[in-house]
Every structure is written in structure tokens, then in C-alpha cells.
């Protein structure tokens, strides 16, 4: 019987207290890698949303895509082809180089606000294939041996690593029952982001307001309020309006995608799973008028088995076929793909800060400023956190 590979992913996003720093809108770059990550991320988000009983979901598709890219280096045939199709590439060497450069880029950032870490745990009975070991190192992965037969020790090792990378916020992503004593290898990924708002939400302005869960259900939610010029875009074909909320950290931003209809989120997810978000994101421009933003503060945690999700997006071979280029002794396949994610969005990052990225428009001496644009996030919506054109986190908030 083929030995088994385990895949675990953990991540966290949080908006923290800001300082008073001048902000200017950066120039964002759009790349082929960003486009492929975008579409794959939205495909994964749609399936996670559809398979989750709780429609408040959060994920880090990039963590999944990074580990799939790494796994593909030791795969062949159908297994690699399926991974490549999801990752939107036909050239593995080019793809692997792109993810290696991305890992290098994120590893060089200040760990106070971003940590992207990979780890390979290998059974002490096996030896990593030389090619796979080199790729793992190119991905800035730590590599350690472990005895999976000691299930408690193995679970503790994984949990301790996750806890150390997420500052204790994801400290128990796996339990002993998740550990197969016959496992050969575990691939681990953590993405931790602690951003500082540049947009000054004032906590004293947060008020309880109505939120439409659906056409017949209304609940009260604490709504943050802001009036400021923001990047803004409307897409009538997709049926959405969008705003961008920048972070203090260079080129980090949250995109809020608000469906025009109260029950429009499922349809929006169907559309973005086909074309992604980046095309619309790169059409966003500073609003001529101030945006009157009302947006709920929220906190979401999700732990999900990704086996069915990956199969739904066309990646099933990793669970069915042995890959011979992972360890030297024999072929392995994936038994479990798990992810735990957490996101918190509130006023912090605004009460001590000031947004000074004011966009000025040329007005004649007799012109009056245009009326404010209302943007009330009072229905289920989609959000994404990006660095430049790379989607780090994506989620939905529904109730």
C-alpha cells in the first residue's frame, strides 16, 4: 500500500493600531502570476463557500497554491497536470520559479506585519528526493524529521510550529486523530498578516445598524463609519460595487466587493470563479467624490477539510495516485488537506492614525464638489486582502 502524505495550512489576518504616516496611492503591478493566483483563489473560495454550512468563510488560497506548486515538483502525469491547470500554467519550471520568487519576496518582508512560512516534516523512516529537497529550499521551507507513529508528539510539533508563526492565534490546527501513523511527509504553510489601517475609522462613530442576511432576515450589526475619497469601481455586468481600503504597509490593501442585490453573493462568486477579481481591481480609480462608507466590524475563523474542495476544482489525482518524486523509498499520495484561517476587521488601525492620501481634483472657481457616494455594506459581501496583485486572503461575510 502506498504511504500517505498530509497537507496542512494555517493563516491569520488582522488589522492593528496605526501610526500617523503620510500615505500616497501606490502604483500596483499586474503580472501573469497575479492573474493565475487570482482566478485559482476565487475558484477555491467559491467551493469553500458552497461546502460550508456557515457562510462566513475565510481562507488563504495562496497557502494552498504554494503547497500544491511544491507538491507538483515531485509529481508527474495526471497529478501534475491537474495542479498545473488550477495554477494556470503549462510550464512547471516557470511556475516553480515564480512561486520560489514569491516565497523569497514575502520572506524578506518585516515579520512584524507579514510571515509566510513553509515547513516539510519527513518521517524518520524516509529520505526526501534530492530534487524535491532542492525545491523545498527554493521555497524557503524548513525541513525536519519526525516520528509520525508518535501521534501526540507529531501533532504537538505541528501545533507548536503554527502557534509560533501566528503568535498563538492558531495554536491547535491539528489533533492526534488527524495524524496517520503511516504518514511519510507533512507539508505545512502559515501566512500571518497584521496590517495597520490608513483609513481612519473612529470607534466612537461605530453604531448598530441593520444588516440584511437575506430578503426576509434583518439583524443588527456594529457598523464602522468613514467618509473619505477611496478607490472605487462599479461593474454592472457582475452586479457589484467595489472599494479599496489601504493598509499602512506598502502595497497591502483590502478590497470590499458589494453585490447590488441582497441575495447576489452566490451569483457574484460564480462570476469571479471564472474571471477573477483583478480585472475589476485594476479598473478602480480614486473617487471624485467622498465615499460615505458604512461597514460591519467582524471576526471569522474557519477550519475546513479541503479534500472535497480540491476535487471540485479539478485536483483529485493527489489523493488517488502515487507521486514518486517526493521521497526516495516509494511513492506517496495525499490523505488530508486541512486549512484553518482567521480574520479580524475592526476600527483598530484608525483611532491613532490619519489618512492623508487625499486625492485632489481640478475644479473651477465656481464648481461645487460632487455629492458623496453612499457605500453601505448591509448585505452579504466578498472581501480580499492583497499585496500588490497577489491575493493573500479571501472571504465572505453573510450574517
Top-confidence residue, 259 or 288: 259
Predicted confidence at residue 6, as pLDDT, reads 57
Report the percentage of the chain scoring pLDDT > 70. Answer: 88
Which residue, among 182, 163, 187, has the nearest Cα to 7 in the 3D structure? 187
Query: Mean per-residue pLDDT for 85-92?
Result: 93
Q: For the chain, how long is the longest CA-to-CA vector?
A: 81
pLDDT at 192 over 90: no
Neighbours of 399 (CB within 10 A): 14
Q: What is the 3-state secondary structure (H, E, C) of 251-288?
A: CEEEEEEEECCCCCHHHHHHHHHHHCCHHHHCCCEECC
pLDDT at 355 over 50: no
- β-partners of residue 257 are 242, 382
DSSP state of 176: G
Neighbours of 19 (CB within 10 A): 10
Report the percentage of the chain scoring pLDDT > 90. Answer: 43
Predicted confidence at residue 5, as pLDDT, reads 59
Top-confidence residue, 42 or 354: 42
Query: Mean per-residue pLDDT for 192-199?
Result: 80
Top-confidence residue, 7 or 126: 126
Neighbours of 360 (CB within 10 A): 7
CA triple 366-371-372, angle to 5 deg: 140
Predicted confidence at residue 303, as pLDDT, reads 83
Q: What are phi and psi of 30, to 5 degrees?
A: -105, 125
Q: What tens digit of pLDDT does each residue of 288-339 get?
A: 888 999 999 988 888 888 889 999 999 999 888 888 898 898 888 888 788 8
Neighbours of 77 (CB within 10 A): 11
Contact (Cβ atoms closer than 8 angstroms) between residue 207 and residue 225: yes
Predicted confidence at residue 365, as pLDDT, reads 44
Range with top average pLDDT, 52-66, 155-169, 259-273, 280-294: 259-273
Query: Mean per-residue pLDDT for 353-380?
Result: 56
Contact (Cβ atoms closer than 8 angstroms) between residue 375 and residue 21: no
**CA–CA gap between residue 114 and residue 102 (Å, rounded):** 13
Query: Mean per-residue pLDDT for 180-195?
Result: 82
Rg of the chain (C-alpha set): 22
Query: Mean per-residue pLDDT for 118-133?
Result: 88
Mean pLDDT, the chain, whole residue set = 85
- HSE at residue 304, side-chain half, CA atoms within 13 A, is 29
Q: SS3 for 127?
A: coil
**CA–CA gap between residue 386 and residue 200 (Å, rounded):** 19
**CA–CA gap between residue 84 and residue 313 (Å, rounded):** 12
Burial 208-222 (b: 16+ CB within 10 A, else e): eeebebeeeeeeebe
Predicted confidence at residue 364, as pLDDT, reads 40
Q: What tens digit of pLDDT does each residue of 234-254 get?
A: 999 999 999 999 888 888 999
Q: pLDDT grade, residue 351 (50/70/90)?
A: very low
pLDDT at 169 over 50: yes
Predicted confidence at residue 362, as pLDDT, reads 27
Query: Mean per-residue pLDDT for 55-71?
Result: 90
**CA–CA gap between residue 126 and residue 99 (Å, rounded):** 26
| N- to C-terminal Cα separation, the chain | 45
Predicted confidence at residue 352, as pLDDT, reads 21
Spacing of C-alpha 302 from chain mean position = 12
Predicted confidence at residue 48, as pLDDT, reads 94
Cell output for 94: 516557470
Contact (Cβ atoms closer than 8 angstroms) between residue 246 and residue 386: no
Predicted confidence at residue 359, as pLDDT, reads 25
Percent helix, strand and coil across the chain, each to the nearest 5: 30, 35, 35
Query: Mean per-residue pLDDT for 5-15?
Result: 61
Q: Which domains does the chain have, with CATH numbers?
A: 3-196+299-344 (3.30.497.10), 203-296+365-397 (2.30.39.10)
Q: pLDDT grade, residue 377 (50/70/90)?
A: very high
Distance (Å) of CA 10 to CA 69, 127, 164, 205, 283: 17, 25, 12, 34, 32
Contact (Cβ atoms closer than 8 angstroms) between residue 335 and residue 4: yes
Amino acid at each position: 500500500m502506498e504511504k500517505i502524505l498530509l497537507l496542512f495550512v494555517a493563516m491569520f489576518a488582522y488589522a492593528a493600531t496605526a501610526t500617523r504616516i503620510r500615505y500616497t496611492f501606490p502604483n500596483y503591478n499586474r503580472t501573469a502570476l497575479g492573474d493565475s493566483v487570482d482566478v485559482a483563489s476565487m475558484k477555491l473560495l467559491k467551493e469553500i463557500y458552497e461546502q460550508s454550512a456557515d457562510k462566513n468563510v475565510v481562507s488563504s488560497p495562496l497557502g494552498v497554491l504554494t503547497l500544491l506548486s511544491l507538491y507538483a515538483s515531485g509529481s508527474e502525469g495526471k497529478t501534475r497536470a491537474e495542479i498545473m491547470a488550477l495554477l494556470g500554467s503549462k510550464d512547471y519550471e516557470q511556475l516553480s520559479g515564480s512561486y520560489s520568487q514569491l516565497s523569497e519576496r514575502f520572506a524578506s518582508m518585516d515579520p512584524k506585519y507579514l510571515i509566510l512560512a513553509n515547513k516539510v516534516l519527513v518521517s524518520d523512516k524516509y529520505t526526501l528526493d534530492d530534487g524535491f529537497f532542492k525545491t523545498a529550499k527554493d521555497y524557503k521551507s524548513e525541513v525536519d524529521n519526525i516520528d509520525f507513529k508518535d501521534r501526540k508528539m507529531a501533532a504537538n510539533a505541528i501545533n507548536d510550529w503554527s502557534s509560533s508563526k501566528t503568535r498563538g492565534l492558531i495554536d491547535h490546527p491539528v489533533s492526534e486523530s488527524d495524524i496517520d501513523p503511516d504518514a511519510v511527509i507533512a507539508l505545512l504553510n502559515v501566512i500571518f498578516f497584521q496590517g495597520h489601517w490608513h483609513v481612519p475609522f473612529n470607534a466612537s462613530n461605530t453604531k448598530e445598524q441593520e444588516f440584511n442576511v437575506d430578503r426576509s432576515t434583518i439583524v443588527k450589526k456594529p457598523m464602522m463609519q468613514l467618509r473619505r475619497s477611496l478607490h472605487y469601481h462599479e461593474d454592472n455586468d457582475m452586479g457589484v460595487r467595489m472599494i479599496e481600503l489601504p493598509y499602512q504597509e506598502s502595497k497591502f490593501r483590502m478590497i470590499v466587493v458589494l453585490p447590488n442585490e441582497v441575495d447576489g453573493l452566490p451569483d457574484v462568486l460564480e462570476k469571479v470563479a471564472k474571471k477573477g477579481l483583478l480585472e475589476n481591481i485594476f479598473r478602480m480609480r480614486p473617487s471624485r467624490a467622498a465615499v460615505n462608507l458604512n461597514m460591519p466590524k467582524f471576526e471569522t475563523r474557519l477550519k475546513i477539510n479541503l479534500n472535497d474542495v480540491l476535487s471540485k476544482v479539478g485536483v483529485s489525482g493527489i489523493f488517488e495516485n502515487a507521486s514518486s518524486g517526493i521521497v526516495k523509498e516509494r511513492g506517496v499520495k495525499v490523505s488530508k488537506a486541512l486549512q484553518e484561517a482567521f480574520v479580524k476587521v475592526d476600527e483598530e488601525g484608525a483611532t491613532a492614525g490619519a489618512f492623508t492620501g487625499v486625492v485632489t481634483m481640478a475644479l473651477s472657481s465656481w464648481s461645487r464638489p460632487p455629492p458623496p457616494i453612499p457605500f453601505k455594506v448591509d448585505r452579504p459581501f466578498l472581501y480580499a486582502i492583497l499585496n500588490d496583485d497577489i491575493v493573500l486572503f479571501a472571504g465572505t461575510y453573510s450574517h
